[in-house]
């Protein structure tokens, strides 16, 4: 069972145009609205692919009602903590020849009272899940924090998960990741740019990524899952460093690919798979996701044969998308 926590949920509004010009009237050829936010995206991907999950998030107003209705329609168990504020809207503009341009609102404030109520909701959901699932429970803390969030929030969630016996995963960046590391999460999932920023390193090769990941291990993480864009993904723990990638994948939309990869990794872990299998599953989910116009996708089993995972990565391999800390 995988519980996701999304402190800053969103309604994703995707607008597609056949062309786009500034200072002009542009006509949409298609539009969709979806319940979103990093943890919610993870839960939706898990649910669509048969993995038990529950999504927790603050929400209010008409957009909050839209979120819960959408998730219920997709069969996703949701715990919406009343916030008294509308959920933010994130806009994605899709134009032929471009992967997608996003405009994200900052989100409603998550003050002391709401943060504590969300923490209490997580405690209750974790306690219930741990009693119901013998196979174990994972708590995934995902995404950015809205304005006003107390500094104690993420460390408290990590500590709560560890205290109750859940595996704890953090998919965040910046100060949020830094504070969470000190509490000792079992896994963190930065992308290559977030990893460079967190360590202050220049990441030009796979070896640079592995070295940066090991720095995060020294700072409290149990393992690191780093997404490298077209260069695949790297997994590092105390015993191993793995590099996986896919070939010949059609890319229509990269929005949500990172969330899909985390869902794939957690789905395999939930089934008791070894790290190499979990990494392959992460890449399978991400490769399936980028072939869809929206964040909703089903895993394409035909892509499995295009994925390779090696336990002896070429540390000298140059990244197509290097990063600077």
Q: What is the set of active-site residues? A: 259
Q: Give the C-alpha separation, 252 to 34, whole Å.
A: 18
Please check whether residue 269 is in contact with residue 116, taking contact to mean a CB–CB distance below 8 angstroms: no
Q: Which pLDDT belongs to residue 294?
A: 66
Rg (CA), the chain: 19
pTM: 0.92
Query: Between the CA atoms of 315, 274, 279 and 202, what dihedral angle is there, to the nearest 10 degrees?
Result: -40
Q: Which pLDDT belongs to residue 83?
A: 96
Per-residue pLDDT in tens (0 to 9) along the chain, 325 residues: 999 999 999 999 989 999 999 999 999 999 989 999 999 999 999 999 999 999 999 999 999 999 999 999 999 999 999 999 999 999 989 899 887 788 999 999 999 999 999 999 999 999 999 999 977 999 999 998 999 999 999 999 999 999 999 999 999 999 999 999 999 999 999 999 999 999 999 999 999 999 999 999 999 999 999 999 989 999 999 999 999 999 988 877 777 789 999 999 999 999 999 999 999 999 999 999 887 766 678 888 989 999 999 999 999 999 999 999 7
Q: Which pLDDT belongs to residue 319?
A: 97
Q: Which pLDDT belongs to residue 298?
A: 85
Q: Give the C-alpha separation, 193 to 236, whole Å.
A: 17
Q: Which pLDDT belongs to residue 29?
A: 96
Q: Which residue pairs from 126-133 have beta carbons closer than 8 angstroms and sit at least 24 positions apart in sequence?
A: 126/3, 126/160, 126/161, 126/164, 126/166, 127/164, 129/1, 129/3, 129/54, 129/166, 130/164, 130/165, 130/166, 132/1, 133/1, 133/52
Q: How do beta strands 10-17 and 88-94 pair?
A: parallel
CATH architecture assigned to 35-88+107-324: 3-Layer(aba) Sandwich (3.40)
């Amino acid at each position: 069972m995988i519980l996701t926590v999304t402190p800053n949920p969103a309604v994703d509004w995707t607008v597609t145009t056949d062309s786009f010009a500034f200072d002009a009237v542009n006509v949409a050829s298609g539009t969709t609205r979806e319940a979103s936010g990093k943890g919610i995206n993870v839960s939706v991907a898990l649910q669509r692919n048969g993995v038990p999950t529950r999504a927790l998030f603050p929400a209010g107003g008409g957009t909050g009602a839209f979120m819960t209705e959408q998730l219920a329609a997709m069969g996703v168990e949701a715990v919406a903590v009343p916030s008294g504020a509308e959920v933010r809207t994130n806009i994605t503009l899709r134009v032929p020849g471009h992967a997608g341009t996003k405009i994200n609102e900052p989100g409603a404030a998550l003050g002391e009272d709401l943060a504590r109520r969300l923490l209490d909701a997580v405690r209750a959901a974790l306690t219930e899940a741990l009693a119901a699932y013998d196979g174990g429970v994972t708590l995934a803390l995902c995404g950015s924090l809205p304005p006003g969030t107390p500094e104690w929030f993420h460390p408290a969630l990590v500590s709560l998960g560890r205290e109750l016996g859940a595996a704890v995963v953090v998919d965040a960046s910046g100060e949020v990741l830094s504070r969470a590391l000190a509490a000792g999460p079992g896994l963190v999932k930065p992308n290559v740019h977030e990893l460079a920023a967190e360590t202050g390193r220049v990441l030009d090769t796979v070896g640079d990524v592995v070295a940066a990941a090991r720095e995060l291990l020294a700072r409290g993480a149990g393992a690191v899952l780093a997404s490298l864009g077209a260069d695949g993904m790297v997994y590092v723990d105390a015993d191993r460093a793995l590099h996986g990638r896919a070939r010949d994948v059609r890319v229509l939309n990269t929005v949500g690919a990172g969330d899909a990869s985390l869902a794939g990794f957690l789905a395999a872990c939930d089934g008791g798979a070894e790290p190499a299998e979990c990494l392959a599953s992460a890449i399978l989910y991400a490769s399936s996701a980028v072939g869809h116009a929206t964040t909703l996708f089903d895993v394409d089993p035909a892509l499995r044969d295009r994925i390779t995972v090696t336990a002896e990565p070429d540390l000298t391999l140059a990244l197509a998308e290097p990063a600077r800390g």
